[in-house]
């Protein structure tokens, strides 16, 4: 089987393989977060100020929830294709590709039909400040019509990653980033459409990214042909896809809902707190990029090594990833503890009492939340490892336990303290990660993750 940029992760130096595979992941996720961040910067500096920032922040939290669900589901394809590729079972690799594209399209139609009419209700559930409600609904509705493009890009990227190609998704998201930035400049500054403008730019960039991915897939020589008979649903593969992908998708959506619940707590504190929290989430997204990127790389590498029956090489890859991501996290922690205002004022022009209130709220939140950056690497890397082993149900259970038994109760109780600010609320996430780390390490050492592979 030949695919441009594909890589056998079962041979060669494990450290070099992981770094070579993870860096394109890192850059791709950086660009994804960057072009989402540009939306906030555009409306914060050239649009309606704090109310528009709160609208885009709230709307993007909802769409991030959708994206987490989609990314989780399509990770099932990465694991299946990776294990079949590692086992040199190329016939099932081709079958998985056709099934993934077919199921993803059908799922995107259903999800769009659910999300579009739900956006106003979701905005109310979030306690969106009245000043930002209308813009939040507009942003979420427009972006929901682009769900088919989000699904398409993630499905295609999952296919490439399962085959060891993490460079192609980087190219596609790079194209999307450039288009989104140019769209923001055009539709916010030249044509002052504000929140609506950044939503249109976002959907347009996602569509173009998916189109380029399809073209790349069409022109690659790896045995799959774009013929009607190739796009069929093979039920045993759908079952495996669901068995692996659904727990990851559910995990993503429940964890995302937990942060939306925290958003409702923050929104009740006013528009300044809402804007400050939204800005911090963008900063946090950048700081967590290494952990997310290495988690996805570890998942693909583990899948191939489990398929090739090399579990100890998979474990070595896990610990290399943990070491690299904790080093990144330590740097982020120091920078945000020492210079929080420097990063926050990149998003909001510090002019006026309203802007200063938002900046102050953001600074207080980031000082407590940033301890997450040295704890979450173990959470993400072990999740990637267990998912690659086909043990996605454990990852889901562990993360949901941390969410429902630690993060949400802690956020609520801390917010109810007398004189509570975002500083207290920010400690909820590090506490949850600490507990999840302990459970994940116990499971790892127990050896119960070992199996012949999820697709065997």
| pLDDT at residue number 4 | 47
Q: Is the dihedral of CA 402, 408, 413, 419 positive or negative?
A: positive
Q: Which residue has the tokens 């993490």?
A: 166
Reference 255, options 406, 434, 146, 416; nearest CA is: 406
Mean pLDDT computed over 258-284: 75
CA distance 292 to 133: 31
pTM summary value? 0.68
HSE, side-chain direction, 13 A CA sphere, residue 379:
26
Helix (H) or strand (E) holding 93: helix 90-125
pLDDT tier at 1, thresholds 50, 70, 90: very low
**pLDDT (mean) for 245-263:** 76
- Tens digit of each residue's pLDDT (9 = 90 or more) over 179-205: 888 888 888 788 878 888 888 988 998
Sketch the domain layout of the chain as residue ranges.
23-446
Look up residue 59 and give its two tokens: 């709307």
27 Cβ contact partners less than 8 Å away, ≥ 6 residues apart = 170, 174
Q: Residue 330 — very low, low, confident or very high, per pLDDT cuts 50/70/90? A: very high
Give the pair of three-digit tokens for residue 320: 């290399």
Identify which has the larger pLDDT, 312 or 219: 312
Instruction: Give the model's pLDDT for residue 165.
Output: 79
Mark residue 227 as left, alpha or beta (left: phi above 0; alpha: psi -120 to 50; beta: remaining). beta
Mean pLDDT of the 8-21 span: 76
CA distance 165 to 159: 9
Q: What is the pLDDT of residues 296-317, one digit of tens each?
A: 888 888 888 888 788 888 899 8
Give the pair of three-digit tokens for residue 404.
């429902």
The pLDDT tens digits for 87-146 are 778 778 788 888 888 888 999 999 999 999 999 888 888 777 777 788 888 888 999 999
Separation CA 422–CA 360 (nearest Å): 10
pLDDT band at 452 (very low <50, low <70, confident <90, very high): very low
Give the pLDDT confidence score for residue 247 in this predicted structure.
82
Tokens standing for 377?
């690497």
Q: Outline where 228-352 has alpha helix (H).
A: 235-267, 271-287, 289-307, 311-338, 340-344
pLDDT of residue 127: 74
Determine the 3-state secondary structure of 14 from DSSP.
helix
Q: Predicted confidence band at 378 (pLDDT cuts at 50, 70, 90)?
A: very high
């Amino acid at each position: 089987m030949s695919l441009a940029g594909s890589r056998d992760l079962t041979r060669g130096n494990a450290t070099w393989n992981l770094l070579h595979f993870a860096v394109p992941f890192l850059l791709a996720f950086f660009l994804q977060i960057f072009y989402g961040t540009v939306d906030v910067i555009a409306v914060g500096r050239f649009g309606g100020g704090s109310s528009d920032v709160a609208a885009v922040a709230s709307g993007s939290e909802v769409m991030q929830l959708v994206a987490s669900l989609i990314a989780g589901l399509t990770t099932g394809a990465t694991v299946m294709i990776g294990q079949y590729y590692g086992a040199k079972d190329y016939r099932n690799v081709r079958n998985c590709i056709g099934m993934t594209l077919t199921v993803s399209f059908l799922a995107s139609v259903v999800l769009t039909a659910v999300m579009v009419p739900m956006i106003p209700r979701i905005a109310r559930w979030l306690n969106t400040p009245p000043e930002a409600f209308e813009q939040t609904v507009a942003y979420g509705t427009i972006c929901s019509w682009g769900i088919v493009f989000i699904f398409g890009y993630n499905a295609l990227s999952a296919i490439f990653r399962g085959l060891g190609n993490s460079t192609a998704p980087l190219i596609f998201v790079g194209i999307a980033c450039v288009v989104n930035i140019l769209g923001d400049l055009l539709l916010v500054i030249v044509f002052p459409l504000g929140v609506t403008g950044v939503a249109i730019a976002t959907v347009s960039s996602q569509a173009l990214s998916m189109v380029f991915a399809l073209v790349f897939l069409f022109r690659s020589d790896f045995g799959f042909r774009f013929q009607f008979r190739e796009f069929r649903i093979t039920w045993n593969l759908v079952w495996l896809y669901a068995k692996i992908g659904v727990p990851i998708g559910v995990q993503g959506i429940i964890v995302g809902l937990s942060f939306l619940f925290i958003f409702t707590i923050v929104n009740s504190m006013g528009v300044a707190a809402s804007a400050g929290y939204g800005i911090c989430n963008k900063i946090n997204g950048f700081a967590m990029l290494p952990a997310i990127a290495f988690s996805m790389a570890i998942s693909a590498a583990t899948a191939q090594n489990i398929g090739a029956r090399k579990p100890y090489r998979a474990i070595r890859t896990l610990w290399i990833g943990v070491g690299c991501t904790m080093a990144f996290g330590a740097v982020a922690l120091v920078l945000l503890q020492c210079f929080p205002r420097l990063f926050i004022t990149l998003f909001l022009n510090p002019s006026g009492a309203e802007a200063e209130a938002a900046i102050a709220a953001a600074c207080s939140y980031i000082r407590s939340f940033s301890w997450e950056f040295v704890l979450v690497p173990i959470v993400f890397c072990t999740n990637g490892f267990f998912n690659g082993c086909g043990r996605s149900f454990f990852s889901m259970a562990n993360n949901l336990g941390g969410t429902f038994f630690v993060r949400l109760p802690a956020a609520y109780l801390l917010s109810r303290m007398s004189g509570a600010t975002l500083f207290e609320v920010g400690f909820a996430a590090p506490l949850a990660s600490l507990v999840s780390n302990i459970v994940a390490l116990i499971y790892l050492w127990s050896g119960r993750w070992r199996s012949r592979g999820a697709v065997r």
